[in-house]
Amino acid sequence: MAKSHSKKKKDINNSPKIGVYVCHCGTNIAGSVNIREVVDFSKTLSNVSIVREHMYLCSEQGQNLIKDDIKKEGINRVVAACCSPRTHEEIFRKTLNSANLNKYLYEQVNIRDQCSWPHFKDKENATKKAKHLIKSGVYRASELEPLEDRKLSVLKSALVIGGGISGINASLDLARSGYKVYLVERNPSIGGKMAQLDKTFPTNDCSACILAPMMVEVSNTPNIELLTYSEIENVSGHIGKYRILVRKKQTSVDWEKCNGCGDCSIVCPVKVDNEFNCNMDKRKAVYIQFQQAIPMKAVIDKKKCIKCKLCEKRCQVGAIDITKNDDEFIEFDVGSIVVTTGYDLFDPNKKAEYDYDHPNVITSLELERMMCASGPTKGEILRPSDGRKPKTISFIQCVGSRDEKTNDYCSRICCTYSIKHARLLKEKYPEIDIFIHYIDLRCFGKGYEEYYRMAREKGVKFIRGRISQVDSIGDRLEVSGDDDTLGEQISVVADLVVLAVAMEAPRGSKKLANLLNISTDKTGFFKEIHPKLKPVSTDSDGIFIAGACQGPKEIPDAVGQGKAAASAASSLMSKGEIDIEPLFAQIIEDLCAKCRTCESLCTYKAIKYTEDDKMEVDIALCKGCGVCSAACPSGAIKANHFTTKQVRMQILALTEGIK
């Protein structure tokens, strides 16, 4: 572990000569902050020797302004009053670096997000606040110290959590780049939701036909260690070296021996709802998840098994031992983590008005399974109540989407998948009357608009207006709604009602988020660090998210994100080491009494008492939050870049007020 120490550079010997740079950001700042006034005010502050303004400070021209002042005017501290350090701090730090000034002698004041934007209606006070913040930045800058980045070694291996289409792509890309990949999947087989689909929009490719070869490639890639029927039990460590504990659930089947022949299932007398077919038919207590499963191995459902041992007797390779009960635990280290845990579907029982209890009210995924040749009806569309072919089908869109009572967001895929269903049904059964009740049709992807047009051409009827309720009338269903274009109430008497249910964050995502120390948004999906610029990064460095676990998305986007996350993880691991900011806590040993107050308070478990009677900070884990420093009774912990003196100066500046 790198030891913390600071090297004094010659620039600190000079007394502070501060340059203040005020950015207009076009009219973003200048529109409501009086730049002239702010510039004049900044000139009055002590240690400030140059104040400049610029239309776009982050432009090359703007950066050169700062560089020239450092080189020619001897500026040794820089305060930029502009936008958010989140997006621009790195840029300006590099500016200082290229002018041979230590990059930590830079302070950024956000007078856009904190002044001009929120107070755009009150120019006077926006300007006043900008002055306050700049004063505070200047006072702090006077106390800044040069710091050096640290190197941290990074293991060249990755964990991918979730074996759906996004995780498969991330794993394959990482493995192809030469990294060792652990792919952990909760179900017996990889494939995810895509394995349950019949056809995929917008080209109507058979889902299995395009997915299965990738699944096979996963199992044939030596770099990928496939851990299915497994869950993440614990994660510790930090970027570059995470320690992972995986619980491999007990299958009671020795997968080394199992050849996937399926004889065990044939003899098993216990019938259980088949989750893969949305519980529309039965599987056995010992089963192979589906026909193209990877790995093609049997699993004993321990909760349902009656221990009759018929399977054990039948198995010709002697793979089954039903006395095996204990889960297996596997531990390994990885340099980075990619989370691709997918999604779950909205529970339509929560919209009771759609009468999901009725056998002929089904979800889209249930219809998808029915349409699939390997599904419960072998590809035939039949009313679950009596097995008769429906004459009229109504699709109800946005069930659990765009609804403040359930999920306020759009699930993005439902419009196009219902169109897909309608089209495929019309192609197979042109005589069936199909209605799609929508509120907006959001066919946003490449080729989707054409896909929608073809559905219209096939005579699918699109009715704009939410459906109020579904009622059972004899052996049929009355769908009551509104037709926006007609301006009238309408009703459809249907034989089958298909609910286009929303995509939701997968069950267990909160728990996983806690294990990984990453955030979820208010909808429960994992949160990216920046919605536009860092779509697969999380607030834990080295952990990336991809696919539907980040938010509803269709296959092309999930694949794209899986590949993006693989690329982000690769670029992190490729050098074998990374620079980390020295913004961590430092123990001043002479002052430390080893009371261990800090150890108990640290959220990140970054401070530990060592065997040689010392408190040690793990700089990879430390986030520099400063809790330890504030709590230390003997003032023995220095929070780099946020020293007591630096913070006090800021407080002083803010409490002194401005002229």
Partner 1 sequence: MKIVLNNTNKELVNKVIEYGGKRVYECFQCGMCASGCPVASDTDHKIKRTMHQVLLGLDEQILDKKAIWLCTTCFMCLERCPQNAGPTEVVFALRRISAEKGIIPEAQIEVANNIYHLGHAVTVQKGIKLREKVDAPPLTTAGANKKYIHEIQKIVDSTHAGLLLKIRKDWKPKGDDVIACD
- Which positions touch partner 1 (CB under 8 A)? 392, 433, 435, 441, 452-453, 456-457, 459, 461-464, 483-493
For the CB of residue 436, give the shortest distance to partner 1 in the complex, in Å: 11
Residue 410 Cβ vs partner 1, minimum distance, rounded to whole Å? 18
Which is closer to partner 1, CB of 154 or CB of 492?
492
- DSSP category for residue 356: T
Are 231 and 184 a contacting pair, CB within 8 Å? yes
Residue the block writes with tokens 């036909």 = 209
Give least dist CB 478 to partner 1, A: 9
Is 484 or 521 the residue whose CB approaches partner 1 more closely? 484
Distances (CA, A) of 550 to 227, 371, 415, 517, 620: 22, 28, 20, 15, 26
For partner 1, give the closer residue by CB, 483 or 618. Answer: 483
Reduce the DSSP state of residue 616 to 3 states and report it. Answer: strand
* 207-220 and 165-176 helices, crossing angle to 10°: 40
Closest CA to 432 of 389, 473, 373, 377: 389
C-alpha 463, offset from chain centre: 35
Identity of the amino acid at 250: Q
- Quick one: 373 or 486, whose CB is closer to partner 1? 486
546, 339 Cβ separation under 8 angstroms: yes
State the Cα angle at 237 between 233 and 240, rounded to 5°: 120
Q: Which is nearer to partner 1, 197 or 467 (CB)?
A: 467
Q: State the minimum distance, in angstroms, from the CB of residue 490 to partner 1.
A: 5
**Least distance (Å) between residue 496 CB and partner 1:** 13
Supply the minimum distance, in Å, between the C-beta of residue 449 and partner 1.
Answer: 10
CB closer to partner 1 out of 276 and 452: 452
Q: Which is nearer to partner 1, 275 or 457 (CB)?
A: 457
Q: Would you list the DSSP string of 52-67?
A: EEES-TTSHHHHHHHH
Total residue count of the chain as it appears in this document: 659
Which DSSP string do the residues of 69-115 spell out, in sequence order? HHHHS---EEEEEES-HHHHHHHHHHHHHHTTS-TTSEEEEETIIII
Question: Please, what is the minimum distance in Å from the beta carbon of residue 476 to partner 1?
Answer: 9
Q: Which is nearer to partner 1, 34 or 392 (CB)?
A: 392
CB of 201 to partner 1, least distance (A): 17
Q: Which residues of 109-125 are buried (b: 16+ CB within 10 A; e: fewer)?
A: bbbbbbbbbebeeeeee
Of 327 and 483, nearer to partner 1 (C-beta) is 483
Shortest distance, position 456 Cβ to partner 1, whole Å: 5
Q: Which is nearer to partner 1, 459 or 531 (CB)?
A: 459
CA separation for the pair 648, 646 (Å, rounded): 5
DSSP alpha helix (H) spans, 143-287: 165-176, 207-220, 263-267
Q: How far is the CB of 263 from partner 1 (least distance, A)?
A: 50
Q: Mention every residue, 6+ apart, whose C-beta is less than 8 A from residue 467.
A: 354, 394, 396, 437, 479, 480, 481
3-state class (DSSP) for residue 245: strand
